[in-house]
Structure 1
């Protein structure tokens, strides 16, 4: 089961996205700002971070920067969602509007998880590969 770190300071939106993600079969970890998210990501490396841009203490852009350069967290895929047009940020795989339809949010999460899982899969063992070809 993939783990998603959901970062947003709006409780209603966090609850809605949590419900959607849990129905999709993901484990959800919550944070209310970038500082809390970074601390939680250090404790348990998520498979995906979905973060708001505008938040108190540490915003989503700063969080993305930290995730990109933090040993052990580099390469964690990020989806940035915002009520405003977000800038292009290194490490962000997708940017979504907070007002996007839920099916668009679901599709984006599934796509990024699938892409990152595919990239993280170890190469086939050559022996297993040749045995499989003989059967």
Structure 2
């Protein structure tokens, strides 16, 4: 559970950093506020620009695992088109590995989803 809480906090921190930069705050000021290097803030902002700041498949599943949302809410949220992503190109990191389907498989392997849930999710996106 500690991993889940830490990962959700990391996702939220990245979202807040991106939104601060998008709102006009300088990367140097953001870096000071969150105690990161300016280069790290730049990479996080660049990645968030490509991936967006909406909920990801990983975030939605981990929210359910942490008890923040119900299983029904998880399926509803995963049904929105905005979270289902193809492989993307990140300006800082190049091609990011994976896709939403691969994220689902990794979450199954990690024990965050059951086989039946994976089947239901994948069937909904065919």
TM-score range, shorter chain: under 0.3
Please identify which structure carries the higher strand content: 1
Larger radius of gyration: 1
Scaled by the length of structure 2, what TM-score is found? 0.28
Normalising by structure 1, what TM-score? Answer: 0.27
Higher helix share: 2
